[in-house]
Structure 1
Amino acid sequence: MAKRKVRRRVRKLLGEDPIALVWCELHKPIPTPPKGVHRSAGGGRLKSRHHWLFYVGAVVFCFIVVPVILIDQLGKKIDQLLLRREPGWRASRPRRQRGSRSTRGHAEGSEPEPDPTNGVFDGDWDLTAGRLLLRWYGDSPSPRRLVMLTRDRVCVAASPRRRLSPTRADDFRTVAEFGLDHARLEGEADQPRGFATLRICFQDGSWLEVGRLAEPEDADHFLRTING
């Protein structure tokens, strides 16, 4: 449950107590927009900033793990070359089973095409959801957002920090606000914790889906409220 100082900050931003609130975030990466659209929107960041430990891990991987893998692969290649020089190697070598070209083509053709939107939004970058995504990390380096519902509006807030605690954050600010005639919230009640999602649908037909709803009590109350 959100702590008292979180609710104090919400009350200060809204000027009233919210009906429901929940921390959430994009549960999938933002799709790559067309270059022209991205450029006209200011060319902002489309990925969150990583923690410094991520970069330490990347350096360790490149300078320690990768050389070990390469040495191991080199050793296997050398063993194969030595094995080929042994008499009788070709006679004992098993033949590869080749599938027919038509079978392979049928299998490849049956694969579903990937979703270019990654299930994050409706796919139109010129509508409300797309524009909101284009400035998502410009508003905050963190993927987390606080969705607040009142009797007449839906507000979205973000913290200027990259890392925050959903129960204790008190420096977030409103980054988007919509009247209930311009935005509605959709989400099934009693969704499995850890897999619950929430969809923000806008008047122009666009929509944005978020997940990783933080704090089970807040998430359950929020989903029950929008379904009540």
Structure 2
Amino acid sequence: MSRSTDRTIRNRLGVATDAGAWCTIGKIPEPPADVYQAAGAGPLRPAFLRPLGMLGAVLVAPFMPIAMLFSLLASGEEALRRLLSTKEERDRAGASDLDVERRDKAIAELGLDQTFDGNWHGAAAQFLLRWYSHSSHHQRFVVLAQGRILLAAPPKRVSVRRDERMRVVAEIPVGEAVLEDPLPAYESNKLRICFKDGSWLALTSEESRSDLHKYLMRHPEPGEIQSTEA
């Protein structure tokens, strides 16, 4: 975490943090009607960008063909570079591609391509169903602070100055859940909040090996949560 980001968090949230990163969740599946009503029947999707926020996209749109051209040129340059590369370089590139393939396979096997574990009566689902009731913003700044998991966001969806507008919108107390890197052997942007009843919620960080990943790498044993189940 950069010093400026850490300072913003301290000033804005009023907490000393161990690590933090901007994350998103996947699409929330359609829940059973009774479970949805019992959870308050809150929104299941983030808010749309306001017209002012969409203006930026409109202004950028005319330049998209140029951006696509540069992208194609970059792809061609990469293909040419690989063609002219040495055997050692090609072997390294092949090994990297294999790592990506293995990582993607592990993501599918662990179910991390899903938003949560699938149990609508679990703690993860209950937390998930209230996700956008706390804030209509599409991202959460996930913070580890003295054992707690804090989630911060602007109250409403914004396109700029998210750091300055964020506030704590949800908190998971110590002992209720832990944050883990489910793929420590790979460079990935996947994280998982594991609740004490065994349910879990998948997060996707804005960047691979985020500040949270690095923290969890330095502290690989967060401690098991004792289940309340018999």
In the alignment, residue 164 of structure 2 is paired with which amino acid? D
Question: What whole-Å deviation, never above 9, does each CA across 1:109-130 have from its counterpart, x for those lacking one?
Answer: xxxxxxx996211222233211
1:77 corresponds in structure 2 to none
Unpaired segments of 5 or more residues in structure 2?
59-110, 222-230
TM-score relative to the length of structure 1: 0.59
| 1:227 match: secondary structure | coil
Alignment of 1:148-159 (within 5 A): 148-159=143-154
1:186 corresponds in structure 2 to 180
| 1:47 match: secondary structure | coil
How far is 1:149 from its partner? 0.9
Structure 1 CA distance for aligned equivalents of residues 135 and 15 of structure 2: 24
2:136 corresponds in structure 1 to 141
8 Å Cα contact 1:185/1:226 also seen in 2? no
- Is 1:176 paired with 2:175? no
2:38 corresponds in structure 1 to 40
Question: What whole-Å deviation, never above 9, does each CA across 1:124-183 have from its counterpart, x for those lacking one?
Answer: 2233211111111111112211111123322122212313458x6122122222233221
Greater helix proportion: 2
Percent identical among aligned pairs is 34
CA RMSD of aligned residues (A): 3.3
Aligned residues: 164
Question: What whole-Å deviation, never above 9, does each CA across 1:46-71 have from its counterpart, x for those lacking one?
Answer: 112233559x99xxxxxxxxxxxxxx
8 Å Cα contact 2:47/2:138 also seen in 1? no
Q: Which has the higher contact order (CA 8 A, sep 6+)?
A: 1
- Is 1:203 paired with 2:202? no
Structure 2 CA distance for aligned equivalents of residues 21 and 197 of structure 1: 14
Unpaired segments of 5 or more residues in structure 1?
58-115
How far is 1:189 from its partner? 3.8
8 Å Cα contact 2:13/2:167 also seen in 1? no
With over 3 angstroms needed to count, the CA separation of the structure-2 counterparts of 1:205 and 1:38, relative to structure 1, is same
8 Å Cα contact 2:189/2:210 also seen in 1? no
Structure 2 CA distance for aligned equivalents of residues 13 and 132 of structure 1: 24
| 2:164 match: secondary structure | coil
